[in-house]
Amino acid sequence: MSVDFERNRYPYCIVWTPIPIITWFFPFIGHMGIATSQGIIKDFSMSYTISTDKLGFGDPTRYLQLDPHQVNGNKEAWDEATDYACEIYSSRVHNLFLDNCHSHVALALSTMKYKGKDNWNMVILAGWIFLFGKYVGISGFLKTWIPFLTFIFIILAFIYLVP
pLDDT in tens, 15-54: 999 999 999 999 999 999 999 999 999 999 889 999 999 8
145 phi and psi angles, rounded to 5 deg:
-105, -25
Cβ-contact 78, 37 below 8 angstroms: yes
What is the distance between the alpha carbons of residues 134 and 57, in angstroms, rounded to a whole number? 18
What is the distance between the alpha carbons of residues 22 and 13, in angstroms, rounded to a whole number? 23
Q: What average pLDDT values come out for the chain (163 residues) when binned by 10 residues?
A: 92 96 92 97 93 91 95 91 96 90 97 95 95 96 95 92 78
Nearest to 64 by CA among 148, 145, 140: 140
pLDDT of residue 96: 82
Q: How far is CA 47 from CA 36, 77, 86, 89, 90, in A?
A: 21, 26, 12, 8, 7
pLDDT of residue 86: 97
